[in-house]
Amino acid sequence: MALHWLVQVFLWCLSLVTISSSSSSSSSSSSRKCQSICGNISIPYPFGMGQDPTCFINDQSFFNISCNESFTPPKALLGGQEVLDISLQGQLRIKFPIGWDCYSKSGNRTSYFPGFPFEIDRTPYTFSNTRNRFTAIGCDTQAYVTGYPFQDLYGRLDFRFGCLSSCWNTASVINGSCTGIGCCQSVIPADLKVFDVEIKSFNDHTDVWRFNPCSYAFFVDQDFNLNFSVSDLSYTSFRDRNEQVPVVLDWVVVWNKTCQEATRNKTDYACLSQNSECSDSTNGPGYRCNCSAGYQGNPYVPGGCKDIDECKDKKTHNCKQMCINMPGDYHCKGREGYHGDGWNNGTGCTAVAYAKEFPVLKVILGTGLSLLFLLIASTWTYWFWRKRRSMKLKEKFFQQNGGLMLQQKISTRRSDTFKIFTIEELESATNNYCASRIVGQGGFGIVYKGVLLNNRVVAIKKSKLVDASQIDQFINELDILSQVNHRNVVKLLGCCLEDQVPILVYEFISNGTLYYHIHEAGHFPSISLENRLRIAAEIAEALLICILLLQCQSFIGILMADFGVSRLVPIDHTEITTLVTGTWGYLDPECLQTGKLTDKSDVYSFGVVLLELLTGEKAVCLNRSQDDRNLATYFVRVMKENRLFQVLEERVRSETSAEQLMAIAQLALRCLKLNGEKRPTMKEVVVDLQRLRGFQNHHTVRDQETEKLLCETSQDCTEDTDGQYSTGSHFDISLTLSR
Ligand X SMILES: *[C@@H]1O[C@H](CO)[C@@H](O)[C@H](O)[C@H]1NC(C)=O
Q: What residue ranges bind ligand X (CB under 6 A)?
A: 17, 20-21, 40-41, 51, 53, 56, 59-60, 64, 66, 68, 70, 73, 85, 89-90, 106, 108, 175, 225, 227, 229-231, 256, 265, 267-268, 279, 288, 290, 293, 318, 343, 345-346, 621, 623
Give the chain's radius of gyration (CA, Å). Answer: 67
The residue (of 129 and 229) whose beta carbon lies closer to ligand X is 229
Other CB atoms within 10 A of residue 420 CB: 16
Question: Percentage helix, strand, coil, to 5, in the chain?
Answer: 35, 20, 45
Determine phi and psi for 490, rounding to 5 degrees: -65, 130
Least distance (Å) between residue 164 CB and ligand X: 22
Nearest partner of 474 among 419, 417, 403, 573, judged by Cα? 403
The residue (of 73 and 327) whose beta carbon lies closer to ligand X is 73
Residue 585: which residues within 8 A CB-CB, separation 6 or more?
Answer: 608, 618, 619, 620, 630, 631, 632, 728, 731, 732, 733
Contact (Cβ atoms closer than 8 angstroms) between residue 102 and residue 212: no
Dihedral of CA 115/118/123/124: which sign? positive
Query: Which letter, b or e, does each residue of 533-564 get, where b requires 16 or more Cβ atoms within 10 Å of its Cβ?
Result: bebbbbbbbbbbbbbeebebbbbbbbbbbbbb
To 5 degrees, how large is the angle CA 423–CA 508–CA 552?
85
The residue (of 440 and 557) whose beta carbon lies closer to ligand X is 440
Least distance (Å) between residue 54 CB and ligand X: 9
The residue (of 332 and 552) whose beta carbon lies closer to ligand X is 332
Amino acid in the structure at residue 472: D
Least distance (Å) between residue 445 CB and ligand X: 24
The residue (of 13 and 393) whose beta carbon lies closer to ligand X is 13
Least distance (Å) between residue 281 CB and ligand X: 8
- Name the helix (H) or strand (E) containing 534: helix 529-550
381, HSE (Cβ side, Cα atoms, 13 Å): 6
Least distance (Å) between residue 126 CB and ligand X: 13
The residue (of 283 and 601) whose beta carbon lies closer to ligand X is 283
Dihedral of CA 75/78/84/90: which sign? negative
The residue (of 36 and 715) whose beta carbon lies closer to ligand X is 36
DSSP string, 614-658: HH---SB-TTS-GGG-BHHHHHHHHHHTT-HHHHS-HHHHHHS-H
CA dist 479 and 502 (Å) reads 13
Query: Is residue 465 classed exposed, middle or buried when 0-12, 13-18 and 19+ CB atoms within 10 A define those classes?
Result: middle
Determine phi and psi for 687, rounding to 5 degrees: -60, -45
The residue (of 106 and 242) whose beta carbon lies closer to ligand X is 106
CA dist 288 and 254 (Å) reads 7
The residue (of 130 and 175) whose beta carbon lies closer to ligand X is 175
Least distance (Å) between residue 144 CB and ligand X: 23
CA dist 317 and 481 (Å) reads 93
Least distance (Å) between residue 62 CB and ligand X: 7
Other CB atoms within 10 A of residue 708 CB: 14
Least distance (Å) between residue 440 CB and ligand X: 18
3-state secondary structure 123-146: CCEEECCCCEEEEEECCEEEEEEE
The residue (of 476 and 630) whose beta carbon lies closer to ligand X is 630
600 assigned to a ligand binding site: no
The residue (of 256 and 350) whose beta carbon lies closer to ligand X is 256
Biggest CA-to-CA distance, the chain = 197
Amino acid in the structure at residue 160: R
Least distance (Å) between residue 17 CB and ligand X: 6
Least distance (Å) between residue 206 CB and ligand X: 12
The residue (of 268 and 705) whose beta carbon lies closer to ligand X is 268
Nearest partner of 47 among 16, 90, 7, judged by Cα? 90
Least distance (Å) between residue 37 CB and ligand X: 10
Least distance (Å) between residue 64 CB and ligand X: 4
Determine phi and psi for 613, rounding to 5 degrees: -65, -35
Q: How far is CA 58 from the centre of its chain?
A: 64
Helix, strand, or coil (residue 205):
coil
Q: Which residues are annotated as a binding site?
A: 462
| Binding residue positions for ATP | 462
